[in-house]
Amino acid sequence: MTRLLPLLLLLTACSDPGAGPSDDAVTYVHAMDGAPASLDPAQASSVYASFLVVNLYDTLYRYKYLARPYELTPNLAAAMPEVSADGLTLTIRLKPGVRYIDDPAFAGGRGREVTAADVVYSLLRHFDPASRAQGAWLWQGRIEGIDEWKAAGADYDNPVAGLQALDTHTVQIRLTRPYPQFVHTLAQAYSAVVPREAVERYGRELGSRAVGSGPFMLRSFDSARAVMDRNPAFRREPFDLAREGYDAGSQSQYELETLEGRAPPFVDRLEVEFIAEDAARWNAFRGGQVDFIKVPAAQFDQVLAQREPPRATPELAAEYHLSAERESGFVYTNFDMSNPAIGHHPDPERAQRNRALRCAIVNGFDWEARNNRFYSGIGKVFPGVIPPTTPEYVEDAGSDYIQRDVEAARTLLSEHGWNADNLPVLEYGYPASVTEQQMFEQFRSFMADIGYPRERIRPLSFATFGDYFGAYSRGEVMLITSSWTMDYPDAENVMQLFYGPNAAPGSNSASYHNPQYDALYDRAAPMAPSPQRTASFQAMNRMIMDDCASITGLARTLVFMWNRDARMLPDRSFTGGFFLRFVDKAGRDG
Amino acid sequence: MATLRLERPGPGGRAGLVIIMAFALVALAVSTGLYPADAAVATGSGQWEPASGRHWFGTNRLGQDIFARAIVGAATAFKVGMTVTLLSLLLGAFFGVVAGWRPGGWLDALVVWLMGVLDAIPFYLFAAALAFALGGGEAAMYTAMVLTFWTATARLVRAEVMRLRQLDYVASARAIGVAGPLIAVRHLLPNCRHLLLVQAALTFVAAIKTEVILSFLGIGMRDGVSWGLMLSESTQDVLAGHFGNFLAASALMFVLLLGFNLLADALQQPNPDSAKAMVGA
């Protein structure tokens, strides 16, 4: 026994009571098709980063778990903001007693209370060049004094007139002009609240660790997976089905009623596996290594017994839940309107010929074939840029724009003097991937049908999306294939994609410029949702189609599957990671 | 000195030659338009149709005939193999002769150092990095392969030249004042041809394999049809339960590489007739 004593002492010393849940802990394993580059909210530019950040940190607001259309609800904030009569001043009160997790960054290693000053600091970080943050575009020119604060050297001790902590729990924000979407920006991962001590102590290292007040605490993170444990100090807020927007008619099959009254998060450990390869992710799901998968489009034929509405085959339905969600966004191909060979041109006659050329290409594009070949026919093709998930969407916005008409395309070309010898060489850009390459091949075959010679349509592929983004931002790509995932559920977010002042390198990658469009946008964007604003957006949508500035669009249908013992309703829209705190597993019931 | 067996190759060598000739004919037919390349890009058929009399290996996601694509892919493989082999052999032979002519000189030291540096980098990593740095695409792929393949040839030629330059006929040529470049062209390179032929077969195989790998990785062929692109496509197809792309590209590549390997093996065997003649002498 005396000989065993040192060994026992060693084993005792090695055991860490705070090391995390025991082996019988309830663990939910999520799979994603990409990995975040950083967990710092200031760098949360991808859906992958957002998924994790909103679970490790708190945002002032979040979206209700089950409500569709999406609705905001307070998260770290105690209530929705108090807005002044002119809509320019917002006062937000924080929930008292919310604490950061324990971390050596804090005095004594114990997490302190989250304060209004932290909210101010977290937003200001986006305007501090030293932080290399990426979210400034959300608030640039919108908050009084914030751009001047940056220009004056981004000193955190200098106050910003429009962004102030009135007391420990109250933040006041003054806007430069009405910005109805502002509260949505406070539900984004970019706005997650970080403690200054952690930023100053860890610097860039904050990208691989997390010091937040969210429902989970980071245990480990690398390029293959992130492991998070339940934050035992997370505020106890009983789950309320009605408040989360539960709809018994469409959601009863997910057994969410059992969550009523319990305080999230419901699982002890949350693991997120980053598996980029579709086949590997599918095999991990079928092999039981992960609980959830976004079904790869190539798999739809094997998975779906019925497409509208999507329903799993009986064999799969016995093992898994399935839900389908139309994306809040769309895929489209922009013409580079700054390129005089195909876009805007100072000579009115040539400008007219270019328009005819673009319209012929739009006429020749076969959306039905694109949908069938690449989205198993369950995507939603719609005219213009206002996607079906927004209230401003109208079914008959211009169905001729998405209806293929090869004869009309040929006629347009010949009437405007275009022929096989003088058609410009089109460079079709895309980030290198099998699917994108096949889409290019399909596009070229569509164009061959309207008489566009194959050799005049060339691929311009880029090794990474970053390279591609850089190239089209510099106006080096004539045909820009892209997709847009909305940042918030408001059509303004898509209308700004064609606003002249946002031209490349801004979000208007088409560099579309139409003074009438810009004037309408200036008038409508500051408006709250209303019939008048809807009419303006629809008129702008029509302008984009009249000018044939883009081949658009298709909203993809995302199909999710998860194990039947996991009680949840997954979501990938906006910062969809909020739902992970509400995931429960039957193992919890024992 | 062992001579080549091209005149009377063994059964393996003959089989290899037949296979290569068959593929060469296919490549010729495609490049001259006798076999319509359009068949490989037409998208008129149904998605992922099963194998049938009309589509021997079925169709891919776009409804393109997989067999037609595999045939056009063979022409691409031949084009890549020929181009890379020719250029890397020229480079390798040149630097091999230059380095081997004056062993120990500064030029030799420079070439040996350069070859050492290039060979020290893992091949596929180097080829991928080079292709990536050059912006991808066909030109980058060719450059990456040529810049990495020439060293093997250069090493062999250098060693052979160092041996040949000791022989009497080279010494005689030098003694009567024949210029170095002329000696290289007239006497050294012709006597390296057995090495160059074997090396050509091996380089051809390596080029085809590398093209397939780089295209699979997205840094090789970007337009047109290649076995690498077909294999890359098959990663999606296999998930959906369709194996036509994978089978067609793999099978044709296997047969062509087998042909080259058989030929290379045959070329490396000493010619029994020559050996007998030498013993008899």
8 Å CB contact of B236 and A372: no
Q: List, in sequence order, the alpha helices (H) in A450-557.
A: 465-473, 492-495, 515-524, 531-546
What's the CA dihedral at B165, B166, B168, B169 to 10 degrees? -10
Pick A278's closest partner by Cβ from B60, B239, B241.
Answer: B239
Q: Are the Cβ atoms of A298 and B232 closer than 8 angstroms?
A: no
What gap in Å lies between CA A144 and CA A397, rounded to an integer? 38
Distance of residue A460 Cα from the nearest chain B Cα, in angstroms: 9
Distance CA B125, CA B130 (A): 8
* Chain A residues near residue B131 by CB distance under 8 angstroms: none
Number of helical H runs and strand E runs in chain B:
11, 0
Interface of B with A (CB under 8 A): 41-43, 47, 60-64, 132, 136-137, 218-219, 222-223, 229, 232-233, 235-241
CB A322 within 8 A of CB A316: yes
Residue labelled with tokens 């060994």 = A7
| CATH number, position B228 | 1.10.3720.10
In a domain, B137, yes or no: yes
The domains of chain A are located at: 27-270+564-585, 329-555
How far apart, in whole angstroms, are the C-alpha atoms of residue A314 and residue A206? 46
pLDDT at B279: 41
The alpha carbon of residue B214 is apart from the nearest alpha carbon of chain A, in Å, by 12
Span B181-202, average pLDDT: 88
Nearest Cα of chain B lies from the Cα of A302 at a distance, in angstroms, of 7
Nearest to A434 by CA among B252, B95, B197, B218: B218
For A144, the token pair is: 């009084």
Check residue B7 and give its pLDDT. 57
pLDDT in tens, B121-170: 887 788 778 777 776 678 888 888 998 899 999 999 999 999 998 899 88
Interface test with A, best of B38, B41, B43 (most A CBs within 10 A): B43
User: A243-249 long-range contacts, Cβ below 8 Å, gap at least 24?
Assistant: A243/A64, A243/A73, A244/A64, A244/A65, A244/A66, A244/A67, A244/A73, A244/A582, A245/A64, A245/A65, A245/A66, A245/A67, A245/A68, A245/A71, A246/A66, A247/A66, A247/A68
Give B268→chain A minimum CA distance, Å: 40
Would you say residue B183 lies in a domain? Answer: yes
User: Rounded to an integer, what distance in angstroms lies between the CA atom of residue A373 and that of residue A367?
Assistant: 10
The token duo for B204 is: 């051809």
Which chain A residues have a beta carbon less than 8 Å from that of B136? 432, 461-463
pLDDT value of residue B2: 43
Query: Is A443 strand, coil or helix?
Result: helix
Domain count, chain B: 1
Q: Please tell me which of the candidates A279, A373, A459 has its beta carbon nearest to residue B47.
A: A373
Chain A residues with CB under 8 Å of a chain B CB are 277-279, 282, 296, 298-299, 301-302, 372-374, 432-435, 437-438, 441-442, 444-445, 454, 458-459, 461-463
Contact A463 B132 (CB under 8 A): yes
CB contact (8 A) between residue B62 and residue A301:
no
Distance between CA A337 and CA A500 in Å, rounded? 11
Question: Could you tell me if residue B277 is inside a domain?
Answer: no
Out of 3.40.50.10490, 3.30.750.24, 3.40.190.10, 2.60.40.10, the CATH code matching A27-270+564-585 is 3.40.190.10
Contacts of A315 (CB under 8 A, 6+ apart): none
Assigned domain for B23 exists: no
Phi first, then psi: what are they for A232, rounded to 5°? Answer: -65, -20
> How far is it, in rounded angstroms, from Cα A585 to Cα A565?
5
CB pairs under 8 A between A and B: 69
Decide if B42 and A302 are in contact by the 8 Å CB cutoff.
Answer: no
Measured in angstroms, the CA of A498 and the nearest CA of chain B are apart by 30
Instruction: List pLDDT tens digits, range B8-56.
Output: 678 888 999 999 999 999 999 998 988 887 777 877 788 889 999 989 9
- Nearest CB to A434; choose among B47, B136, B232: B232
pLDDT in tens, B202-226: 999 899 888 888 887 777 887 889 9
Contact A326, A554 (CB under 8 A): no
Measure CA A472 to chain center. Answer: 20
**Residue among B49, B59, B60, B61 with most chain A CBs within 10 A, to mutate:** B61
pLDDT of residue A184: 95
Task: Map tokens 């932080």 to a residue.
Answer: A131
Question: Nearest Cβ partner of A442 from B43, B235, B238?
Answer: B43
- CATH dotted code for A329-555: 3.10.105.10
Note the pLDDT of residue B256: 92
pLDDT-above-70 percentage for chain B: 92
Q: What is the ipTM of this complex?
A: 0.79
Q: Is residue B26 part of a domain?
A: no
d(CA A384, CA A332): 9
Distance from CA of A471 to the nearest CA of B (A): 12
Per-residue pLDDT of chain A (590 residues; tens, 9 = 90+): 444 444 444 444 444 444 555 667 899 999 998 888 899 999 988 888 999 999 999 999 999 999 988 899 999 999 999 999 999 999 999 999 999 999 999 999 999 999 999 999 999 999 999 988 888 988 999 999 999 999 999 999 999 999 999 999 999 999 999 999 999 999 999 999 999 999 999 999 999 999 999 999 999 999 899 999 999 999 999 999 999 999 999 899 899 999 999 999 999 999 999 998 888 899 999 999 999 999 988 888 889 999 888 899 999 999 999 999 899 899 999 999 999 999 999 999 999 999 999 999 999 999 999 999 999 899 999 999 999 988 889 888 888 899 999 999 999 999 999 999 999 999 999 988 888 989 999 999 999 999 999 999 999 988 777 788 889 989 999 999 998 989 888 999 999 999 999 998 888 999 999 999 999 999 999 998 899 999 999 999 999 999 999 999 999 999 999 999 999 999 887 767 999 999 999 764 43
Q: Which domain holds residue B201?
A: 65-258
Strands A311-312, A292-294: pairing kind: unpaired
Instruction: Say if CB B75 and CB B83 are below 8 A apart.
Output: no
- What CA–CA distances, in Å, run from A585 to A135, A254, A268, A398? 35, 12, 10, 46
**Do A212 and A75 contact (CB within 8 A), yes or no?**
no
Alpha-carbon torsion, ordered B10, B16, B18, B20, to 10 deg: -150
Contact at CB, A432 and B232, closer than 8 angstroms:
no
Interchain pair A445, B41: CB under 8 A = yes
A343: tokens are 């876009």
Contact criterion met (CB < 8 Å) for A463 and B218 = yes
CA distance B61 to chain A (A): 6
In-domain check, residue B87: yes
